[in-house]
Chain A
């Protein structure tokens, strides 16, 4: 008996048979529907039929669970911490129910799939309820077991049991409320508009989730900053520090150990790229294998690259087309609109927190005292990067990109125009708003300029990075194809935000401890940006040459 079959048998015994008995359903039908729903959900969520992405998601949930538990051990008021954790995870579960399973389990178009089969209502209900319970138990287990262990160690087994029961209850309440709300809204506005509304919820919740992670991780960064010591600790071995070690190497004399530190970065980047390419997405890999390396019509030149970065205007026909498509996309896609609505709200929130008469926190006090910009950077990078990336990635999902291929437009200019549109519509306003807040807070304009340079470089780098790996790249699919692989995308985005945010935060912190390191960091980011730009052109150019017309 293989593991998959074993899981099927366990699920049958644990969920299907008791529920079928309880609801007087046909267990054979319920089991068949349960299997079909489960498989369809999993395979629609992830591009790859491999189990690796699903295991990664579970690992991420476990990571969240451990992070919550860690916070709990340090919490001054355990009850408040518990309330926050249970509330957040209940929301997480409700989000998962609405976004991950609604396509299959709560599909309003279900009758077009199953309408003519002799299914009695109780069998259908049993299958859906079983899937719901399976998800509930799985999420509760992964998210709350580490916290329960902490409760047992800190208080008692009874406290842990109460905590688990509370968490389960919270999850059930959140999920049932969500389902009721879903049904009511579905009845009220219909399936098409509801799908758009789900898009809103996804955008909002994803942003909140990232912000919540920031909240969980921030205290750890403060602690880390306290123990930071240049080159005399293991931290300089980490990738962001390594290039700065080169500068220190030049300043303080040759040292083999420091050279090794400097070389860790390229090695780790190469490893990460190989890992990403090998791990993610069967379709992506297939595409890479199938794609012939057709050289671009216009070879990249250094001078042209500079033009790309500095003055990609809307004068060219290609730029005009991409701007028009972006505006059309903005008109049609509610998620993009939602992200745009969130954008000023987010800045208003931070404005109130940082610029109010009685600021909740004064993160820049540390800056003035020690020239360490850790906290503001963590807030801005971890908090704002996800939001801005939401804007950027949404802006790249042109639903009608194929139109441009009908004309005699230059593919290279089109690609550059995509970047220009995203940059002008989303990245630049974000940078301007950030600069406004920082100018108000920090007297030293030199500091602000440096910060903005770093942010600009980081923004360009994020954009290039996302272009490399986003499965919804423009031209990668016809506009009418149903987007699948949501799980892959979400996973990729969380990993990107998490890793890039953490590394950026630490590299910024280190950069402001030493101006030499700051210069290195800027140079590094710029080089990475140019590199990724070149790779992006080549890969996306290949896609342009291989795009299939929907008509």
Chain B
């Protein structure tokens, strides 16, 4: 049990260190949590194979499986915080208040965190990632967006939630 816990912590710390280093060196800019999750799992598999070949030759597969379970919990925690910090409108609002000597009126906040910051950047991202299609400044959903929206509307009906956003 101790091996699984320590092994998973060591690999996660290694992954996290590499992730931060690559970002600080501007070699990695993705904010896609799916991308980070897949990469973290690939990293675990590679390190496990190397450790099995050179260090822990007699270790059973079960130990790696248990380590993988713990490792994924740390990764999911990290992604949870990552998505929250990267995308959160609430946190951005708080950060603007913090920069502005920690006290702001709503109008000052609207100037600092403008509609342009809010919407324009996100819309450009959605167009760039082909969720929205722009033609002559008219926007419509792409096919993959249609699929996602229908799933969203299904769950909103299931959960009986009306006010979203």
Q: Do A and B bind each other?
A: no
Measured CB to CB, the residues of B under 8 A from A are: none
